Amino acid sequence: MFKETFTAGRRQVLKSTGLAAISFASAVFGMGAMLASSAASAQTYPTKPVTLVVGFAAGGPTDIVARSLAQSMTKTLGQAVAVDNKPGAGATIAGNLVAKAKPDGYTLFIHHNGMATAPALYRKLPFNPLTDYEYIGQAVDVPMTLIGRQDLPVKNFEELVAWIKANKAKVNLANAGLGAVSHLCGTLFQQTLATDLTTVPFNGTAPALTALMGGHVDVLCDQTTQTIPHINAGKVKLFGVTTKSRIGALPNTPSLHEQGLKDFEVVVWHGVYAPKGTPKPVIDTLTAALQTALKDPEVMKRMKDLGAEITPVSKQTPDGLRTHLGAEIEKWGKVIRAAGQYAD
């Protein structure tokens, strides 16, 4: 009796073990097939158009950078790179869309400093910039300018600071909306001067510039891609650039750092991202295409004309973008928390 029971039990154990082995082997085979399929897809990538999502309206600074890069990357990849504008909520709508997209390299995201400021600005941010993306590389840096209305009763930056401190809250400081880089630049400017001004947010750079040129606001901090045409036309007063050293587009204009705002620096940098889990061979292909675009004479000329600068090669990589993003999150988090300004 014991022998029969033992034998039957042994058969059952062997049967169960065999099924488990078959199940395990099937799982391993399935995983292998999946990895093989993914590798094969990565090797043939791309086989269809790629979408580069921009979180702002067409014609804006980030859109201009995106379209210049997309045009050049199309030539390198052999497939169209189409720009898709998904404006709203400081580009968080676009960021969330890409974070949730299929990680196959066909949906990408280009964003500026807002990628670093969003964690501090939005209490309920639907994505995490540090964990929900693969990094492709940093692309273009755009300096900013501090400008004022043409009839402002000052001639230079030194006189501007004296006038601001004498008038304080009577001074209207415009920006392109909460979370815009112009808002962040203005916030840092106030903190550096230890002076609170009256901030006037607009729905974008264009209306803020229109208000400044119309004499309705006093001062604005915004990027060269938007301000240089108006500076060259003599429609606004220029007080300085926000990079630590002078820029090629405005060689005779000293930086705010040079003029006494120690270490004041605000640069609009742009990075390109893919959804988390995008295969490394695909990321490598996209990084190479981005780097090729940044050496394209047409792209370089277009950026130079706008006062923008190609990011150093060391930052045109996944690691370069990852490192810079982490440092920027820390920097702007302190500024935003000190100002106590939140988008929601």
**What pLDDT, on a 0 to 100 scale, did the predictor assign at position 306?**
80
Output 342 or 228, whichever has higher pLDDT.
Answer: 228
**What pLDDT, on a 0 to 100 scale, did the predictor assign at position 15?**
46
**What pLDDT, on a 0 to 100 scale, did the predictor assign at position 215?**
97
Confidence category of residue 225, pLDDT binned at 50, 70, 90: confident
**What pLDDT, on a 0 to 100 scale, did the predictor assign at position 143?**
92
**What pLDDT, on a 0 to 100 scale, did the predictor assign at position 4?**
45
Q: Answer whether 265's CB lies under 8 Å from 188's CB.
A: no
Confidence category of residue 32, pLDDT binned at 50, 70, 90: low
**What pLDDT, on a 0 to 100 scale, did the predictor assign at position 319?**
98
**What pLDDT, on a 0 to 100 scale, did the predictor assign at position 41?**
57
**Is 247 exposed, middle or buried (CB count within 10 Å of its CB: 0-12, 13-18, 19+)?**
buried
The letter for the amino acid at 191 is Q
Task: Give 272's strand partners.
Answer: 110, 137
Q: How many CB atoms lie within 10 A of CB 128?
A: 12
Q: Which structure tokens are listed for 71?
A: 């045009």
5 has pLDDT over 70: no
Most confident range, picked from 39-43, 86-90, 134-138, 203-207: 134-138
Q: Report pLDDT digits (tens) over 245-296.
A: 998 889 999 999 999 999 899 999 999 999 999 999 999 999 999 999 999 9
Give DSSP secondary structure letters for 214-258: TTSSSEEEEEHHHHHHHHHTTSEEEEEESSSS-BTTBTTSPBTTT
The H-assigned helical ranges of the chain are 2-44, 61-77, 92-99, 114-121, 157-167, 181-193, 205-213, 224-232, 280-293, 297-305, 318-339
Q: Report pLDDT digits (tens) over 105-138.
A: 999 999 999 999 999 989 889 999 999 999 999 9
237 has pLDDT over 50: yes
Q: Answer whether 48's CB lies under 8 Å from 106's CB.
A: yes
In 3D space, the residue among 232, 222, 237 whose CA is nearest the CA of residue 163 turns out to be 237
**What pLDDT, on a 0 to 100 scale, did the predictor assign at position 226?**
86
Q: What are phi and psi of 214, to 5 degrees?
A: -85, -5
Q: What are phi and psi of 111, to 5 degrees?
A: -145, 155
Confidence category of residue 36, pLDDT binned at 50, 70, 90: very low
Mean pLDDT taken over the chain: 88
| CA neighbours closer than 13 Å in the CB half-sphere of residue 1 | 0
**What pLDDT, on a 0 to 100 scale, did the predictor assign at position 43?**
74
In 3D space, the residue among 79, 86, 124, 91 whose CA is nearest the CA of residue 282 turns out to be 79
Confidence (pTM): 0.79
9 has pLDDT over 70: no
Q: How many CB atoms lie within 10 A of CB 117?
A: 25
Specify the DSSP element, H or E, that contains 107: strand 107-111
Backbone CA torsion sign across 189, 55, 73, 99: positive
Q: Which structure tokens are listed for 133?
A: 């993306």
Cα–Cα dist 312/68, whole Å: 18
Q: How many CB atoms lie within 10 A of CB 214?
A: 9
Cα–Cα dist 88/108, whole Å: 17
In 3D space, the residue among 268, 266, 91 whose CA is nearest the CA of residue 190 turns out to be 266
Cα–Cα dist 79/74, whole Å: 5
Percentage of the chain exceeding pLDDT 70: 87
Q: Answer whether 284's CB lies under 8 Å from 317's CB.
A: no
Q: What is the average per-residue pLDDT within 145-157?
A: 97
Cα–Cα dist 268/223, whole Å: 7
Q: What is the average per-residue pLDDT within 82-108?
A: 95
Q: Report pLDDT digits (tens) over 170-217.
A: 999 999 887 788 988 999 999 999 999 999 998 888 899 999 999 999
Q: Answer whether 139's CB lies under 8 Å from 311's CB.
A: yes
Q: Which structure tokens are listed for 10?
A: 């042994």
**What pLDDT, on a 0 to 100 scale, did the predictor assign at position 112?**
93
Output 26 or 241, whichever has higher pLDDT.
Answer: 241
**What pLDDT, on a 0 to 100 scale, did the predictor assign at position 292?**
98
